Amino acid sequence: MNILPDANFFQKTMPQTEKNEYLLEVEHLSMTIERYEKGLNPIRQAVIRDFHLTIRKGEIIAIVGASGSGKSLLADAILGIQPKNAVVEGVLKYNNEPLSDKKKKELRGKEIMLIPQLTNALDPLMKVEKQVKSFLKIKNKRKLEEIFFQVGLDKKAMKQLPANLSGGMVRRVFAAMALASDAKLIIADEPTNGLDEEAANDMLRLLKMLAEQEKGIIFITHDIEAALKIADKIAVFYAGETVEIVARKHFIRGGAHLRHPYTKALWYALPQNGFQPFYPFQPSTTENSRGCQFVEHCPKAKTVCKERHPDLKTIHGGDKVRCFYA
């Protein structure tokens, strides 16, 4: 993996003019899923509610949250590939243009690309090489080989069926796909999950490299440490909503720089900060629940927190937080 080009190479070619334009803006994004439990009435579950995100070119934003908090569905919602029984609402803009479902369909795999979480995201019956090639515009064989070389995939692996590759190898295949695509926005859904430390670091380096190629990266993960290694901003995801968006430099300082009690708890749970275990239960998010999602676990909760739902407010330094008392 030491063959990655150094960061400066890309810095030089970076066009500075567009820097302030958002690549993707997400406002009030919500997803409701209708499901049946025990054959009774359908239950409508809000898996994502009032989600906000902005991302620029070359920026890595980590979305950090516990497993089961609906992070993968977030990727689906942005890509427009949500399950049939899901309803997505909200305003999405891509390059300042509204991102409708039709537009999403056009952009999928071209402008917006997914790095999936599970290794079974490859068709079990198709050779890896064919799966990589099948959707790419690059017919230039040399360029493709260069990419495989960059991510550390040999030719032999490419001729295999997915089941014959290790988890780390499959992630490299995903990375190669993202590299070879012309995508400007890459959503990496738990790309380091299940990898050993070395392979995970390789993956993080690849993500960094993609960002240096002027691509915006949404890095979905439950691993804060991994997020802190490469992300510019951390969006903390709890029970289907962003509770806080903090710049990385603020997050690592911790303490007063973190406003939301959940974020604070996450910070204190980091090994270097005392390792205080904190696993708040994800509340079931049926749609009628009023008030703050975190109220049951919050040390600061007052009556108002039970009755009203706090909005995401911008605070000093450009960070955002969803709490009445921040």
Interface with another protein (CB under 8 A): 27-28, 34, 36, 38-42, 75-76, 79, 81, 84, 87, 89, 91, 105, 107-110, 113-114, 116, 118, 120-126, 134-135, 161, 163-164, 177
Angle at which helices 167-180 and 197-212 pack, to 10 degrees? 0
Q: With respect to another protein, which residue has the nearer C-beta, 263 or 285?
A: 285
State in angstroms the smallest separation of the CB of 84 from another protein: 7
Is the Cβ of residue 126 or residue 304 nearer to another protein in the bound state? 126
What tokens does 108 get? 């999928």
CA distance 293 to 295: 6
> What three-state secondary structure class fits 198?
helix
The answer to whether the CB of 263 falls within 8 A of the CB of 297 is: no
- C-beta of residue 86 within 8 angstroms of C-beta of residue 73: yes
| Whole-Å CA distances, 294 to 17, 243, 266, 285 | 40, 9, 13, 11
In the bound complex, what is the minimum distance in angstroms from residue 184's beta carbon to another protein? 14
Residues contacting residue 314 through CB under 8 Å, at least 6 positions apart: 320
Q: How far is the CB of 127 from another protein (least distance, A)?
A: 11
For residues 59 and 76, which CB has a smaller minimum distance to another protein in the complex?
A: 76
Torsion of CA 59, 131, 105, 146, to 10 degrees: 40
Tell me how far, at minimum, the Cβ of 218 lies from another protein, in Å.
13
Q: Given the complex with another protein, which of 178 and 326 has the nearer CB atom?
A: 178
Question: In angstroms, what is the minimal distance from the CB of 78 to another protein?
Answer: 10
State how far the Cα of 75 lies from the Cα of 64, in Å rounded to an integer.
Answer: 13
Contact call for residues 201 and 185 (beta carbons, < 8 A)? no
Structure token digits, residue 311: 């909005």
3-class DSSP assignment, residue 271: helix
Q: How far is the CB of 76 from another protein (least distance, A)?
A: 7
Pick between residue 73 and residue 258 the one whose CB is nearest to another protein. 73
User: Which residue's CB is nearer to another protein, number 30 or number 69?
Assistant: 30
Nearest residue (CB) to another protein, 46 versus 265: 46
Query: Minimum distance from CB of 118 to another protein (Å)?
Result: 5
Q: Look at the alpha carbons of 158, 160, 162, 164 in this order and tell me if their dihedral is positive or negative.
A: negative
Place of tokens 């430390």: 197
* Nearest approach, Cβ of residue 107 and another protein (Å): 8
Residue nearer to another protein on the CB measure, 34 or 146: 34
Distance (Å, whole) CA 113 – CA 204: 17
CA 16 remoteness from chain centre: 25
